[in-house]
Structure 1
Amino acid sequence: MSDPARTIRRVKSSRSLLESASLSRPGQLLAAAARPLALASLVANAALIVTGAAVRLTGSGLGCPTWPKCTDDSYTTTSEMGVHGMIEFGNRLLTFVLVGLAFATFFAVLLHRPRRRSLIVLAVAVALGVPGQGVVGGITVLTNLNPWVVGIHFILSIALIAGCYALWRRIDEGDGAPVPLVPTPIRHLAWITAVVSFAVIAVGVVVTGSGPHAGDQGAKRNGLDPATISQFHADLVFLLIGLSVALWFALRAVAAPAATVRAAAVLIAVEFGQGVIGFVQYFTHLPVLLVAAHMLGAAITWTATLAVLWSLRTRPALQPAAVAPAVKSEEPTPVPAS
């Protein structure tokens, strides 16, 4: 007798092949490009942090003094607005690149066979998050670069990076239940490390809002003492590095997979590099290039943190549900002869 589960797998495989065959050649190519597109979206969102840093560090935050137009009469920058207008308008144009990548990724996931709801949800979140991020960027202009709104703008970029990274990794995984690769206490330690990593980034945003690089000479600061908030930020950095080193030793102690140990080591290396840049920029009075490198480092640190979390488990393909054996048809009861 044939195995019902094996029969179902064959039927699903055949159905997937038929669905793929039903796609046009361009559709098949787009579906196959889902993962590269998700990676491109991840890189582009990290690049937006760098271009946003360029806007702030060159004092071009109000290079386009209004939104959604660049001026009251034009959607584009004008020659009278000079280099500040060009920098701010260029940053706005990058948003359209991000929107294009996000929607291309969404359609690629939609055409992916078999169609996976988990991927569609992530792709929709990113596709909606990018224009939402653009709206918040417009609000920062309309509020004359309010430091708290600017901070939310940056945190949304961090959230989008998390969404893009999750989508990129999930495309290559199954939809089965996550299988832990390390003991529960170590997973808890990793999540605590991730929370502290996010806290370091968030407090770093507050530090920037208290310092000289607010995006425009007339922009308000958040009113906090730069020395005090910078010290708190540094304390969190020390805590983060300590937790990361402890996590690496714990992973080695339980003979975790090599990829997991390697991800923790990369995180430590990135944190040390980011910490060195942070201390040097502080004691050299915040030179523009080092501040830009530090903001890029925040995106890299966050991505390395996500890589550690992802390395703690694996997700197999979703197994088809077992089918109950078919019920035998009842034979008519013979009627006894009278």
Structure 2
Amino acid sequence: MKYSKWFVRVNWITLVLIFLVVIAGSFVRITGSGMGCPDWPKCFGQWVPPTDSSALPSDYKLIYSEKRAKKVEKFGNILTSIGMEETAEKIRNDKSILYEQDFNARKTWTEYANRLFGFLAGNGVLLVFLWIMLKYRKRKLVITATLNLVLLVFQAWFGSIVVATNLVPWTITVHLFLALVIIGLQLYLIRLIAPSQQRNIKVSKQFYALVFFIFVVTFFQMFLGTQVREEIDHLTKAGIGREGWSENLGMIFFIHRSSSWLVLILITVMFWISRKSKDLRIIHWAFAMLAIELLSGVILNHFNVPGLVQTAHLLFACVLFGILMMATFRLKTKEIA
């Protein structure tokens, strides 16, 4: 079935918007702007947030702290209902969650920009879903678009939980996981409709297994990265500077760093095998993305974790994840005589 060029373009644009949400979310994290808006989906009860604390009631901290307490209690009840009583009690008893920060216009508008990107990406996913339901009601498209829309709605709701719990570390990891699943579903949609992605590339079983293994390790690496970042946040709050990070980060950082070099070696091998094949340019792109990703990782490890470098580190990790996922879709094994 042939799909309209605009339908294909809208899907690519939606993918870019989803990536922009991930980038914006990373920038929010490194600037400490996650609590710039204490409520959700509005920001300080407004669709367009204020620029000065004078526009807020004098007791705004108490107001939003009480609202947060109600959301935390509801979330705790949900966790209890699915058998996570210990986690629920830990959240309920963590009084730091209810601490309300002073109004900061820069942080508020940084978080607001993140939400705007989320709004645009959400509308892109919704538009794709409606387009499919009205014009292209093929089974795979309907299932994928529906699942993506449902996950995006859940992701938006979970974003409110991340805010309500004052950025409890594990909720941020779950938030990233959901974002990667949404990216994967959008890539699969593009695979189904875009002519450029429908041509399969024949490779040996060994080569395909290598690509798939690297994809799995990269996926695992991204979660190790969030754990490393959470540990750094914890050490920073405890007053431990960069000079003490290496001895306090422990095994998670060691595995994260070592796995990165393992992936580099494997992708270098893939690149060398495929260097003369025009059909395997997707592997060449993966090699380029990983090289940039590792460079940003080295800068993060040896210098003062510049904010933009940290954002770039996550961006190129997500792009590498996307390229490898597209490769697993397009590569097909062939029998070797």
Please report the TM-score for the alignment, with normalisation by the length of structure 2. Answer: 0.73
Aligned to 2:157: 135
Aligned to 2:119: 96
1:298 CA drift (Å): 1.4
Q: Is 1:203 matched up with 2:254?
A: no
Q: Deviations over 1:97-145 (max 9, x none)?
A: 11111111122223445x4211222211222222221111111111110
Structure 1 contact 105–123 (Cα < 8 Å) conserved: yes
What is the correspondence of 1:37-186 to structure 2 with a 5 Å cutoff? 37-71=10-44, 73-74=45-46, 76-78=48-50, 79-80=52-53, 81=103, 82-112=105-135, 115-172=137-194, 181-186=202-207
Q: Distance in 2 between matches of 1:283 and 1:55?
A: 23
What is the correspondence of 1:240-319 to structure 2 with a 5 Å cutoff? 240-251=263-274, 258-260=278-280, 262-313=281-332
SS in 2 for 1:285: coil
Aligned length: 274
SS in 2 for 1:291: helix
Aligned to 2:208: 187
Q: Deviations over 1:155-206 (max 9, x none)?
A: 21111111111111210369x9x97712323222221111011111111111
2:259 aligned to which of 236, 243, 262: 236
Q: Deviations over 1:271-291 (max 9, x none)?
A: 111001111121112111111
Q: Distance in 1 between matches of 2:323 and 2:254?
A: 24
Q: Distance in 1 between matches of 2:230 and 2:287?
A: 27
Structure 1 contact 207–226 (Cα < 8 Å) conserved: yes
1:240 CA drift (Å): 1.1
Per the alignment, do residues 188 and 302 of structure 1 end up closer, same or farther by CA in structure 2, a change over 3 Å counting?
same
Please report the TM-score for the alignment, with normalisation by the length of structure 1. Answer: 0.72
Per the alignment, do residues 170 and 40 of structure 1 end up closer, same or farther by CA in structure 2, a change over 3 Å counting?
same
Q: Distance in 1 between matches of 2:249 and 2:14?
A: 34
Structure 1 contact 277–290 (Cα < 8 Å) conserved: yes
Q: Distance in 1 between matches of 2:41 and 2:248?
A: 33
Q: Distance in 1 between matches of 2:110 and 2:315?
A: 18
Name segments (4+ residues, structure 1) moved above 2 Å.
Answer: 66-71, 73-79, 107-113, 183-186, 223-231, 245-252
Q: Distance in 2 between matches of 1:148 and 1:263?
A: 33
Whichever of the two has the greater Rg, that structure is 1
Structure 1 or 2: more helix by fraction: 2
Q: Which amino acid aligns with 1:287?
A: P
Structure 2 unpaired stretches of 5+: 54-102, 239-244
Per the alignment, do residues 179 and 47 of structure 1 end up closer, same or farther by CA in structure 2, a change over 3 Å counting?
closer
Per the alignment, do residues 60 and 179 of structure 1 end up closer, same or farther by CA in structure 2, a change over 3 Å counting?
closer
SS in 1 for 2:233: coil
Q: Distance in 1 between matches of 2:133 and 2:274?
A: 37
Aligned to 1:226: 249
Identical amino acids, percent of aligned pairs: 24
Q: Which moved more, 1:182-191 or 1:144-153?
A: 182-191
Aligned to 1:336: none
Structure 1 unpaired stretches of 5+: 1-12, 17-27, 315-338
SS in 2 for 1:181: strand
Aligned to 1:24: none
